[in-house]
Structure 1
Amino acid sequence: MTEFIPPGTRYFDLPSPFVMKRGGELRGARIAYETWGELNAAKDNAILILTGLSPDAHAAANEANPEAGWWEAMLGPGKPIDTDRWYVVCVNSLGSCKGSTGPASVNPATGELYRLDFPDLAIEDVANSAAHVIRELGIERLACVIGNSMGGMTALAFLLLHPGIACSHINISGAARALPFSIAIRSLQREAIRLDPNWNNGHYDDERYPESGMRMARKLGVITYRSALEWDGRFGRVRLESDRPDEDPFGLEFQVESYLEGHARRFVRRYDPNSYLYLSRSMDWFDIGEYAGGDAAAGLSKIRIDKALAIGVHTDILFPLQQQQEVADGLRAGGADAEFLPLESPQGHDAFLVDIARFGPAVSGFLATI
């Protein structure tokens, strides 16, 4: 298997050894990142973006890579995260297959891919590696750290483990801990991958790749990323034009099935299955209450920042709205001027990627106050 690295990606080497939360360590590891805008002389205009499970560091077009990024509508000159004002850094998560060291990387001790020899990965490890990049860039204090989905978890760990590293925080569809429903969905996704015979205990290659398992995992994910309201409005019960072939009587019949199949097939060969397993499990393990006797609210109250905004949507079933309410309440208990903003978007967990008409003004409005 190969890594899937966008052109123009840059790297910082992690300290060697890089000690991980659950007892492992990495040697010769690196973190991929990209930047936009200019860091001012005071170095006080920097924003860090922490991503969800699958994105790379290429959040938007830049000089090194003019291709549109995964958050293109949100980031750039004159956009909600205005790079005429802000110096923006986006890191690719440790454990990913998009440039940062992960299971698809070569283990320098053996010369072979890590595969399942990669150490147990925690959200805290992702946070600590991102903090290393910020320090290497010479930034003592970020103006803001923005975390989306899994990145919202990472941001909370980042702020708790590195006091004073940021003035403010925007938590977008994130959470202080995984809920049972989300754990259950991710467990099924991992099971689908591991039960594919081609997974072969992590020893697959391009010729024998666990495509069926990854397709099923991705379909499950996409179903939970959007809402039933959107599925109904977008597809209804519309059937495909062609009849099912006789040799596949239970094949694709509805447009929604065809959409999921196409989406899954575009994803499977662009993401490493072992990386998917490791990052998925890291979310299930994360609970900021570990730092306060099991109490998530008390764990959040240990974070010290000036201002915060927690944004969620009513139709998000994967990171439901009460989790963003919990984040805002907990940060407020710690002394932050924290606001909770529930949005009415019909597009579920993925709304922050596509519903820029709602999320853009919320983000730009908050950034205008710092």
Structure 2
Amino acid sequence: MTHDARRYAALPSPFAMKRGGELHGARVAYETWGTLSEARDNAVLLLTGLSPSAHAASNADDASEGWWEAMIGPGKAIDTSRWFVICVNSLGSDKGSTCAASINPATGEPYRLDFPELSLEDVANAAQVVVQGLGIEQLACLIGCSMGGMSALAYMVLHPGSVRAHISVDTAPQAQPFAIAIRSLQREAIRLDPHWNKGRYSDGSYPSDGMSIARKLGVITYRSAMEWNGRFARIRLDPERRDDNPFGLEFEVESYLEGHAQRFVHTFDPNSYLYLSRASDWFDIAEYGNGSIMEGLKRIRIEKAMVIGVSTDILFPLEQQEQIAEGLRAAGAAVDFVALDSPQGHDAFLVDIPNYSRAIGGFLSQL
């Protein structure tokens, strides 16, 4: 797999973090598709969920399939023959951006848990450095998916006037107790793995069990019970696919989760996962509105928005997307609210491409 498409933006040094602390010599990775117009008015910024890289789609420099391949490209919903698309890898993620696994210039060793406390406001500010570095005064559209949707709200509230239109995908104005509880368990699974070793693991002693359980918990919440029932029912594994351990894998759904976990383990830095997970818990737009979500959202000044949610999403429930739509409307934006009935739950934006393409492509074509 080539990384030739990956580009890097240096952050100002020092880069001040919201919760105190600062980074020196930090950078974020990003990729682009399409061509920036002479007026620099056709830029679309995409902010990602917790685990994806900046490689949202294949391009001339990297032909490998991106995480939103079906959405981005010439003639697709996010049409790169019209839009200049930028996808930024979150600050704190180990996919090319400065993170807990990066070398701390002060010590010459990886930061590990000396990395400053990370917030989604820091993720937003780092992404804005990329946009400014490309000479873009105002984004035509800012798209945020899942965690990236929260980062996008932070971006718009911290950088007024820098965004014309917004597409909010399966996200929330603040984390709800259920989402915080799940993420807390995921972090606990990692921290309880003896190989985690208070963040001082190595490739040879990586906390595989903790990361595996964290991923399984995630996958369970990213989909809906309806989908689990439809896909797996109570189907049992063939005897040769079962393991012999007492209480070992017996059902098809257990094997599916195991496969997902094995593909994820060793592809993500555990400390970076902990930092991004906690940043998601901390985010709260109400901090900008004297404790009120509506007042916080009212501080966002954009012309148009589309808010998409899924009725089966248990992690970012539909009523939270409705709050975003109401708040942006109260702030004076023309808002389309799209409630989809996809059975795939939170992951629908990665799976139910026909419905999301129709909504996102329709909205962008009217800008």
**Counterpart in 2 of 1:148?**
145
CA contact 2:242–2:249 (8 Å) conserved in 1: no
- Among candidates 254, 257, 262, match of residue 257 of structure 1: 254
**Counterpart in 2 of 1:62?**
59
Residue 321 (1) aligns with residue 339 (2): no
d(CA) in 1 for partners of 2:226, 2:192: 32
- Among candidates 263, 268, 271, match of residue 268 of structure 2: 271
The alpha carbon displacement at 1:246 in A equals 7.6
Q: CA 1:245–1:346 in structure 2 vs 1: closer, same or farther (change >3 Å)? A: closer
The alpha carbon displacement at 1:6 in A equals 3.9
CA contact 2:300–2:328 (8 Å) conserved in 1: yes
- Number of residue pairs matched? 367
- Among candidates 321, 331, 343, match of residue 340 of structure 2: 343
Aligned to 2:142, the other structure's residue is in SS state strand
d(CA) in 2 for partners of 1:100, 1:316: 29
Q: CA 1:5–1:297 in structure 2 vs 1: closer, same or farther (change >3 Å)? A: farther
Alignment of 1:211-290 (within 5 A): 211-242=208-239, 247-290=244-287
Aligned to 1:42, the other structure's residue is in SS state coil
d(CA) in 2 for partners of 1:20, 1:244: 49
Q: CA 1:130–1:245 in structure 2 vs 1: closer, same or farther (change >3 Å)? A: closer
Alignment of 1:98-117 (within 5 A): 98-117=95-114
CA contact 1:5–1:97 (8 Å) conserved in 2: no
- Among candidates 70, 74, 79, match of residue 77 of structure 1: 74
Residue 132 (1) aligns with residue 91 (2): no
Query: What runs of 5+ residues in structure 1 fail to find an aligned partner?
Result: none
d(CA) in 1 for partners of 2:134, 2:307: 27
CA contact 1:52–1:149 (8 Å) conserved in 2: yes
Deviations 1:91-148 (A, max 9, x none): 0000000000000111111110010000000010000000000000000001000000
CA contact 2:242–2:250 (8 Å) conserved in 1: no
Aligned to 1:167, the other structure's residue is in SS state strand
d(CA) in 1 for partners of 2:39, 2:337: 30
The Cα RMSD (Å) is: 1.2
d(CA) in 2 for partners of 1:257, 1:22: 39
TM-score normalised by the chain length of structure 1: 0.98
Residue 299 (1) aligns with residue 296 (2): yes
Q: CA 1:245–1:167 in structure 2 vs 1: closer, same or farther (change >3 Å)? A: closer
The alpha carbon displacement at 1:249 in A equals 2.0
d(CA) in 2 for partners of 1:358, 1:247: 43
Residue 355 (1) aligns with residue 360 (2): no
CA contact 2:237–2:252 (8 Å) conserved in 1: yes
The alpha carbon displacement at 1:8 in A equals 2.3
d(CA) in 1 for partners of 2:113, 2:264: 21
The alpha carbon displacement at 1:269 in A equals 0.6
- Which letter does structure 2 place at the counterpart of 1:222? V
TM-score normalised by the chain length of structure 2: 0.98
d(CA) in 2 for partners of 1:11, 1:171: 25
CA contact 1:168–1:308 (8 Å) conserved in 2: yes
Deviations 1:218-242 (A, max 9, x none): 0000000000111111111111112
d(CA) in 1 for partners of 2:143, 2:277: 20
**Counterpart in 2 of 1:195?**
192
Deviations 1:181-216 (A, max 9, x none): 000000000000000000000000011110000000
Q: CA 1:246–1:339 in structure 2 vs 1: closer, same or farther (change >3 Å)? A: closer
The alpha carbon displacement at 1:247 in A equals 4.4
d(CA) in 2 for partners of 1:156, 1:98: 22
Query: What runs of 5+ residues in structure 2 fail to find an aligned partner?
Result: none
Identity between Structure 1 and Structure 2 (%): 66
d(CA) in 2 for partners of 1:15, 1:175: 29
The alpha carbon displacement at 1:245 in A equals 6.2
d(CA) in 2 for partners of 1:367, 1:88: 12
- Which letter does structure 2 place at the counterpart of 1:146? I
CA contact 2:190–2:214 (8 Å) conserved in 1: yes
Deviations 1:37-87 (A, max 9, x none): 000111100000000000000000001101010000000011000000000
d(CA) in 2 for partners of 1:206, 1:266: 16
Q: CA 1:110–1:72 in structure 2 vs 1: closer, same or farther (change >3 Å)? A: same
